[in-house]
Amino acid sequence: MAAQTLYEKLWSSHVVHEEADGTALIYIDRHLVHEVTSPQAFEGLKLAGRKPWRISSIVATADHNTPTDHWEQGILDPVSRQQVETLDANIREVGSLAYFPFKDERQGIVHVIGPENGATLPGMTVVCGDSHTSTHGAFGCLAHGIGTSEVEHVMATQCLLQKKSRTMLIKVDGQLGKGVTAKDVVLAIIGKIGTAGGTGYAMEFGGSAIRALSMEGRMTICNMAIEAGARAGMVGVDETTIAYLKNRPFSPKGEAWEQAVAYWRTLHSDEGAQFDKVVELKAEDILPQVTWGTSPEMVTTVDGRVPDPAAVTDPVRREGVERALKYMGLEPNTPITDIKVDQVFIGSCTNSRIEDLREAAAVAKGRSKAANVKRVLVVPGSGLVKRQAEEEGLHEIFLAAGFEWREPGCSMCLAMNADRLEPGERCASTSNRNFEGRQGAGGRTHLVSPAMAAAAAVTGHFADVRTLA
């Protein structure tokens, strides 16, 4: 058989039916559900008198609307509360493999709890009504975000209508420098190919620098594939993947584990497999990244400067840069390290896992929040992450530095709960989107790694984490 890419293997093992124009029905193994994009789907099912096709594919949690402090008070915002209670009622009525409701010890961000519970397994198709579902591709899955109509479609049919994507390999070879993390790698990739660079592609990340990453790092990279325009990002299975999955609650056990692992070891692109596009980066060239604008592609290195729109020749692009600088309140040519921050957010499905918190804590240890920084929020990705961080004493480092240690949830990544920026406030954020208003109307977001966020928190401005020994 001809050499196949990982994407081709995953695709061909899930095609149920194909129309003449190539539109295919793809079987879905895992359906992750949260409160924001599911109520209309459940209602649609009910109105049509349909039942979910396979309840055991569903894993659900409440994450977007949940508060990150004062859990004893419940959810104060009545509109948020109604949405979370609607999910409670829908899951109660319909059923699921697992549900981690608000306040459950395993509750958390849907893209954190899936992997940590072994509900995301190599070879699966994974969908969720959330664009950051691409995260799960780190496990050698075909995983992507879907809209609410598709959520309803998957519930009713266990399938998704899809056309095959083109394939792109992003190859990062070499060794990452000290202080350079997976977040910097993915921001550098987006800076190189642009936010539409991956549109229409399934993106595989490979090369020695990717292989050397932990599962947490790979999840960070696949998480932001969507920020490069690709619905799906993925990394081939290797020993790191298998070691991570062993003994997770929903991972196979005993003989089934052996059988599964034998299959999983085949889930990588074959030697000589052809991709429609290949993009290469050298790990040594990647420096800590900071975004300066209102799109993740508006990014530069920490030793760089805010760009000058006068130097941009394309008129649509120039106008985009001008508009972004106006919104961000930045002057052209300002050194990145001169930009002061008002708030810092360490969390989100991109960077709220244990390793992210360790990286932030390593910088925060023995230091204090700078006086001009109003607030530093550290929001673990799940109850389990929170517990592990506390067992390691990370929370004490954060609290000693004057950071706030919160309950898990999506929090200020999208500010659907009470955690948000005030108009004009500037934030160093480990989240994934720096869009206008994303972290609160008028808020100004700069995307960085957890270590760089902690560095900004303790210095009061963007700072090269490599110089904070």
Contacts to other proteins from residues 25-84, by CB under 8 A = 25, 27, 29, 36-37, 39-40, 43, 48, 50, 53-54, 56, 64-65, 77, 79-80, 82-83
Q: Which 135-154 residues touch other proteins, going by CB under 8 A?
A: 144-150, 152-153
Angle at the Cα of 230 from the Cα atoms of 226 and 236, rounded to 5 degrees: 100
Which of 157, 240, 274, 388 touches other proteins by CB under 8 A?
Answer: 157
Decide if 110 contacts 219 (C-beta within 8 A): no
Task: Write down the residue that tokens 């904070």 correspond to.
Answer: 468
The span of 216-224, 259-267, 279-287, 367-375 binding other proteins (CB under 8 A) equals 259-267
The answer to whether 141 is a known ligand-binding residue is no
- Select from 123, 140, 206, 288 the one that contacts other proteins (CB under 8 A): 123
The neighbouring-strand residues paired with 446 are 428
CA atoms in the 13 A half-sphere facing the CB of 317: 12
Minimum distance from CB of 381 to other proteins (Å)? 18
- The reply on whether position 199 binds other proteins by CB under 8 A is yes
Residue 204 contacts other proteins per CB under 8 A: no
Considering beta carbons, is residue 134 or 352 the nearer one to other proteins? 134
Whether residue 233 contacts residue 134, with contact meaning beta carbons closer than 8 Å, is answered with: yes
Residue nearer to other proteins on the CB measure, 181 or 223: 223
Q: Using the structure block, give the residue that is written with the tokens 């052996």.
A: 258
By CB under 8 A, name the one of 121, 186, 325, 448 that touches other proteins.
121
Report the nearest approach of other proteins to the CB of residue 349 (Å): 12
Residue 78, number of CB atoms within 10 A of its CB: 8
In the complex, what is the shortest distance from the CB of residue 37 to other proteins, in angstroms, rounded to a whole number? 7
Among 86, 214, 240, 274, binds other proteins (CB under 8 A): 86
Phi, psi of 127 (to 5 degrees): -130, 160
Q: Does the annotation place 410 within a ligand binding site?
A: yes
Contact 429, 350 (CB under 8 A): no
- Closer residue to other proteins (CB): 182 or 224: 224
Cβ nearer to other proteins, comparing 23 with 333:
23
**Bridge partner residues of 233 (DSSP):** 203
DSSP state of 176: P
Q: What single DSSP character describes residue 464? A: -
Provide the β-strand partners of residue 445: 427
Shortest separation between residue 77's beta carbon and other proteins, angstroms: 8
Decide if residue 342 touches other proteins (CB under 8 A): no
Min separation Cβ 207 and other proteins, Å:
25
Residue in the structure block whose two tokens are 């004893």: 72
Contact positions with other proteins (CB under 8 A) in 439-458: 441-442
In the complex, minimum distance from the CB of residue 289 to other proteins, in angstroms, rounded to a whole number = 18
Strand, helix or coil for residue 205: strand
Strand, coil or helix: what is 44?
A: helix
Of the pair 177, 252, the CB lying nearest other proteins is at 252
Which 167-196 residues touch other proteins, going by CB under 8 A?
195-196
Among 12, 23, 175, 208, binds other proteins (CB under 8 A): 23
Binding residues among 291-330 for other proteins as defined by CB under 8 A:
295, 316-317, 319-320, 323
**Interaction between residue 216 and other proteins (CB under 8 A):** no
Say whether 349 counts as a known binding-site residue.
Answer: yes
> What is the residue whose two structure tokens read 């969908």?
127
DSSP string, 300-347: EETT-B---GGG--SHHHHHHHHHHHHHHT--TT-BGGG-B-SEEEE-
Q: Give 288 or 320: the residue with its C-beta nearer to other proteins.
A: 320
Under 8 Å between Cβ of 358 and 446: no
Spatial distance between the Cα atoms of 133 and 146, rounded to a whole number of angstroms = 9
Find the part of the chain contacting other proteins (CB under 8 A) among 255-263, 361-369, 393-401, 447-455: 255-263
Q: Which is nearer to other proteins, 218 or 231 (CB)?
A: 231
Q: What's CA 270's distance to the chain center, in Å? A: 27
50 vs 55: CA distance, rounded Å = 13
- Nearest distance, CB of residue 396 and other proteins, angstroms: 33
Tell me whether residue 261 or residue 468 sits nearer to other proteins (CB atom): 261
CA distance 408 to 142: 26
* 259 part of the interface to other proteins, by CB under 8 A: yes
Out of 190, 283, 412, 416, the residue judged to bind other proteins by CB under 8 A: 416
The enclosing H or E element of 43 equals helix 39-47
| Distance, CA of 384 to CA of 286 (rounded, Å) | 32
Binding residues for [4Fe-4S] cluster: 349, 410, 413
